[in-house]
Amino acid sequence: MLEHVVIPKLSAAVDSWDPRKKVAIHVWVHPWLPMLEQRSIEALCHSIRYKLSSVLHAWQAHDASAHTLLSPWKNVFDSAVWEDLIVRYIVPKLKMALQEFQINPADQKLDQFNWVMLWASTIPVHHMVHVLEVDFFRKWHQVMYHWLCSPNPDFNEIVSWYKGWKGLFPLLANERIRMLMALGLDMMNQAAEGLEVVQPGTTENLGYLTGTEKRAPKESRLPSCHGVLGTAMTDLSFKECIQAYAMEKGLLLMPRVGKFYSGMPVYEFGTVSVCLDPVKPVVYAQLRGGA
């Protein structure tokens, strides 16, 4: 019955399917896949890919229907074929959307950003990370740099802005995305501590990313302790260890402007105020009822 009744009808339906009408073909093809032989699945997939390719060249990033039609096939199409389809038709349009995207803290519109983030779990992660690094984070870092270098920047606004963007990213589990976010946090730390802010794209800035990437450990965990840290992560400074641990836990290590304890700057660590003594090394935390 599968060979003589079901497969001919499925094939005829796929042949008559017009993706421009935005009918989600997976709804009536996927239920049959567990029953079909691989050669029959490959024949159907070949026809579906051909139909999709014939219309995707005209697709624009604002049209979410392409994601609705494509995403259910991610784990059905051969991985190499899927990547080729995505790289050829989807990635260039997403890059274009981010290139047109304006980062404006005073009046932020997120349309293009949201169009791109819709694809975050569908596109192979290395392609998504590259698109974000080149076409989003370069602008994002520049906006933060100029804001921090402006006369009397409002650090509370900048921290809120940073936290807002951090909450919009579904790819924070990716090491490279965490590094790019951490670079923004590092610029905020420099400004809050009265240091010169390193401009994005400079040798020092790029060296930070490359150096952090090379020395990042496979497991970014700090040993549990009560106030005093044991052996820090290999090749990381004491402060960088604390920053890495904070990021792993989804927290910020952010200087509290103008706040000091025994000559050391006070940091916001989640909801706790802390001081870092890199000499001992010791973390001092202000807890309820004392320090």
pLDDT tens sequence for the chain (291 residues) = 878 788 888 899 899 999 888 888 898 899 988 988 888 889 999 999 999 998 999 999 999 999 999 999 999 999 999 999 999 999 999 999 999 999 999 999 999 999 999 999 999 999 999 999 999 999 999 999 999 999 888 888 998 999 899 889 888 788 899 889 989 988 988 888 888 888 887 655 555 555 544 444 333 333 333 333 333 344 567 777 787 777 777 677 777 766 777 777 788 887 788 888 877 788 888 776 555
209 and 245, same domain (yes or no): no
258 and 171, same domain (yes or no): no
Tokens of 203: 């040798």
Give the integer Cα–Cα distance in Å for 80 and 86: 10
193 and 114, same domain (yes or no): no
Tell me the residue ranges of DSSP E strands in 11-141.
none
193 and 272, same domain (yes or no): no
Tokens of 118: 């819709």
Per-residue pLDDT, 207: 52
Per-residue pLDDT, 90: 96
Cβ atoms of 96 and 61 within 8 Å: the answer is yes
Last residue of a domain, one of 123, 154, 181: 123
Question: Would residue 129 count as lying in a domain?
Answer: no
Contacts of 133 (CB under 8 A, 6+ apart): 176, 180
Cβ atoms of 162 and 188 within 8 Å: the answer is yes
What separation in angstroms does the CA of 34 have from each of 138, 226, 239?
Answer: 45, 54, 53
Question: Would residue 285 count as lying in a domain?
Answer: yes
Q: Containing domain of residue 246, as a range?
A: 220-291
Cβ atoms of 100 and 112 within 8 Å: the answer is yes
The one-letter code for the residue type at 122 is: T
61 and 114, same domain (yes or no): yes
Contacts of 147 (CB under 8 A, 6+ apart): 105, 153, 158
6 and 103, same domain (yes or no): yes
Q: What sign does the CA torsion over 178, 181, 184, 188 have?
A: negative
97 and 51, same domain (yes or no): yes
Question: Would residue 175 count as lying in a domain?
Answer: yes
Give the integer Cα–Cα distance in Å for 9 and 195: 70
Q: What does the DSSP 8-state code read for residue 260?
A: E
Per-residue pLDDT, 1: 82
3 and 110, same domain (yes or no): yes
119 and 53, same domain (yes or no): yes
Is the model's pTM score more than 0.85? Answer: no
In this structure, the strands spanning 282-286 and 272-277 are: antiparallel
Q: How many domains does the chain have?
A: 3
Closest CA to 239 of 202, 177, 201, 195: 195
Question: Would residue 128 count as lying in a domain?
Answer: no
Per-residue pLDDT, 209: 53
16 and 117, same domain (yes or no): yes
1 and 114, same domain (yes or no): yes
2 and 113, same domain (yes or no): yes
